[in-house]
Amino acid sequence: MKEMEERDNVASIEKYLRKTDYIIRKKGREILSDFGITVPQFTALQILINHENMTIGELSQDMALAFSTITDLIDRMEKSELVVRKKDEKDKRVVRVEVLPKGFDILEKVLDKRIDFLFHKLINFSDEDKYNLHIGIKSIYEAMKADSEE
Q: Residue 36 phi/psi, 5° resolution?
A: 70, 30
pTM listed for this prediction: 0.82
* Lowest mean pLDDT, pick from 4-8, 83-87, 145-149: 145-149
Compute φ and ψ for 50, nearest 5 degrees.
Answer: -75, -20
Residue 150: pLDDT above 50?
Answer: no
pLDDT at 2: 86
Res 1 pLDDT > 80: no
Domain ranges across the chain: 2-148
Q: Which of 98, 85, 110 is nearest to 52 (CA)?
A: 98
Give the Cα separation of 65 and 59 in Å (integer): 8
Listing DSSP states for the chain in one string gives -HHHHHHHHHHHHHHHHHHHHHHHHHHHHHHHHHTT--HHHHHHHHHHHHS-SEEHHHHHHHHT--HHHHHHHHHHHHHTTSEEEEE-SS-TT-EEEEE-HHHHHHHHHHHHHHHHHHHHHTTTS-HHHHHHHHHHHHHHHHHHHHHHT-
Q: What is the percentage of the chain residues whose pLDDT exceeds 70? A: 98
CB 99 within 8 A of CB 58: no
Residues 41 and 83: their CA atoms lie apart, in Å, by 10
**How many residues belong to the chain?**
150
Closest by CA to 32, choosing from 104, 99, 113, 101, is 113
Q: What value does the mean pLDDT take over residues 63-90? A: 93
* Residue range 88-97, pLDDT digits in tens: 888 888 889 9
- The contacts found for 15-23 with CB under 8 angstroms, 24 or more apart, are 17/140
- The CATH class that applies to domain 2-148 reads mainly alpha
